Structure 1
Amino acid sequence: MAPTHAEAQPNEYKAHVKNIAIIGAGGRSGKFIVEALVQGGRHKVTAITRRDSTNQMPEVHETKQVNYDSRTSLVEALRGQDVLVITMIEAGVKWIIPNEWGVDHTNESLANDTVLGARYKEVQAHIENVGGEKTHWIGISCSFWYEFSLAGSEARFGFDFDRKEVTFFDNGDEKVNTTTWPQVGRAVASLLSLKVSPEDESDHSPCLSQFNNRSVYISSFLISQRDMLDSVLRVTGDNKNDWKVSYEDVKERFKRGSEMMTQGNMAGFAILLYSRIFFKDGGGNVSHKLDNEALGLPEEDIDEATRVAVEMAQRGETNMH
């Protein structure tokens, strides 16, 4: 659906969104989103948290404690918000950014193979069905978080920093998109700073409504495992001989991960998930879809991002939470 021009909107129309509620403000990516929004100075940011939560909240304009089991509590906490970063509809929130950071779910084969596609489609359909014309979802397709994925176990990008070992999928030369946490934060802040609608028919500049019920595609790097290793060597000062490199057929790796999941070993899910984007079918490369320019996102230094990952690995910060 084409965006409605601002000149055709009713008197209560707001040209930009102002009130942003975020569930998970203290999480790994949440704190970067909050930081970018607050620094931008255009929004009032409200953190939604459980009443019994002990999580350390980043600096926000307001914190509302809710009972997640009470619909009334949630609706009241969200009333008056323009955007919700995660999912909740009945309060009349106009835009929802669901918790679906990751791969390109419009790629049917990729969505099905990584298991998550059906769940995300259900969430999107629910928002569209319940929200009607008043509420829209906007997905953030950022592929895998770079620091988290590189610092993690061999099951992710193939790196084991404790042993200085890396497993290359096939030859390790397939390039995929990946995004840093700060870039995710900047992208969300930039997206929510766009004007809601074009001024008139001649206005073709980016606006929030052009992303109604679709994903925004962002990326920090288009990179292969070999590129990652080169960056690791530059950051650590290691020589190539300091690292043991092994190889695994990427489709056999995917099959192995699937079999582990079938046997109840959830470590196989990470192996399945990460190996799938390195298939030589281009599923992990979304460079032709990127909205980086529309959002004004900067180019980043791969070695700086790798340095963060190396430090995370050294501190043992490899889990999701």
Structure 2
Amino acid sequence: MSEIKSVAIAGASGNVGPHVLKGLAEAKFQVTVLTRSKKPGAYDSSIRVIEVDYTSVESLTAALQGIDALVSTVGGTAIESQTTIIDAAIAAGVKRFIPSEYGNCTTNPKLESFPVYSSMAKIRQHVQEKAKAGKITWTVLACGGFLDFLFARPILFDFGNHKVTLYDEGDNRMSSTSLPNIGKAIAGILKNAAATKNRIVRTSEIILTQNKILKIAQGLRPDIKWEINTVQTSSILKEGLEGISAGDFSTPTFMKIIISTALAGDVYGCAYDETDNELLGIKELTEKDFEKLIAERLG
């Protein structure tokens, strides 16, 4: 397909968006940020910023004129509203759409009916139907867990208090990629438009397990005594689903569903033994780099 030069981003101010923006800018794409309200100085002067109404196909269509690709990094409740973004992209003649679906098991068919995952599946199915009709092309980036979040927050380990809760005994494998490399991967997808057309692309800086991290941590700091507990991901998932059924739509309840599936290892295909790293220009972490990352958390 023809070369992609101009790229628009929806949701550029969230967790993933700034890194995608940087990755695209460094790859020399012409970048446009779609925003609900312009804030002076929020972006570099080289970035075009357009104020849009995300509920209006007309507003979005006007903003997307002359755009080759649209990358969505919207979060939370805005996931399902991407149907409007897709329809506007088609009306404007956008060639490629990348939906906001950045995780490790979001594309697993077993999870399509689950809360959180069902919204992503709905958007993926919508753009796939449009692609079959020849109206647009799509790519989904499966990137594993965000490496930055996993080490900065007490998800896999509570480094500050030297506590760890091992999920299913701690040997579940999970792919993980840092946010800067997710941005680089998005640029890699668009630089290789033909090779990434209408498919799921996978990137993984490292496949980790909690026991691997614990072993390295104990080797680096044998003086630290870890408080170790275990929990079954199936039990956490059951709690989360029962909470939703009972009408509890709180963040902790949704997090139970996300954590219990994303950390369940091979049950939901959380580790990528085959990746598109080379195509996207992503280098895997060396053991030395991984040890350095753990050492920094240990202080």
TM-score for both structures, normalised by structure 2: 0.80
Q: Mapping of 1:5-20 within 5 angstroms?
A: 14=2, 16-20=3-7
1:290 aligns with 275
Counterpart Cα distance in 1 of 2:269 and 2:223: 26
Cα distance in 2 for partners of 1:141, 1:55 equals 32
Unaligned runs of 5+ in 2: 73-81
Question: Is 1:67 the counterpart of 2:53 in the alignment?
Answer: yes
Alignment CA distance shift 1:170-1:286 (3 Å): closer
Name the CA shift for 1:59/1:52 in 2 (closer, same or farther; >3 Å): closer
8 A contact 1:18–1:44 mirrored in 2: yes
Equivalent pairs: percent with the same residue? Answer: 27
Q: 1:163 is matched with which residue?
A: 161
2:191 counterpart residue number: 193
The CA deviation at 1:35 is: 1.3
Letter in 1 for 2:187: A
The whole-number CA distance in structure 2 between the counterparts of 1:256 and 1:33 is 34
**2:15 aligned with 1:28:** yes
Distance 1:261 1:239, change over 3 A: farther
Pair 1:63–1:231, CA change in 2 (3 A): farther
Deviations 1:166-216 (CA, angstroms, capped at 9, x unpaired)? 10012112211111101101111111112xxxxxxxxxxxxx234332211
Higher helix share: 2
1:80 counterpart (66, 73, 78): 66
Change in Cα spacing, 1:249 to 1:145, as seen in structure 2 (3 Å) is same
Letter in 2 for 1:67: D
The correspondence of residues 177-192 of structure 1 with structure 2, limited to 5 A, is 177-192=175-190
- Quote the residue 1:3 is aligned against: none
> Which residue of 2 is the match for residue 317 of structure 1?
none
Taking structure 1 as reference, are residues 255 and 70 closer, same or farther at Cα in structure 2, changes over 3 Å only? closer
Report SS of the residue matched to 2:260.
helix
Change in CA separation of 1:54 and 1:175 when aligned onto 2, cut-off 3 Å? farther
Deviation at 1:218, TM superposition (A): 0.8
Give the SS at the match of 2:169: coil
Alignment TM-score, normalising by the size of structure 1? 0.75
- Equivalent residue in structure 2 for 1:39, among 26, 47, 53: 26
Distance change (3 Å), C-alpha of 1:220 and 1:130 = same
What is residue 273 of structure 1 aligned with on the other side? 258
Contact 1:25 1:58 in 2 (8 A): no
Tell me if structure 1 keeps the 8 A contact 2:144–2:270. no
1:302 matches 2:290: yes
- The one-letter code matched in structure 1 to 2:116 is L
Superposed, 1:235-246 pairs within 5 Å as 238-239=221-222, 241-246=224-229
Cα-Cα RMSD: 2.9
Aligned residues: 278
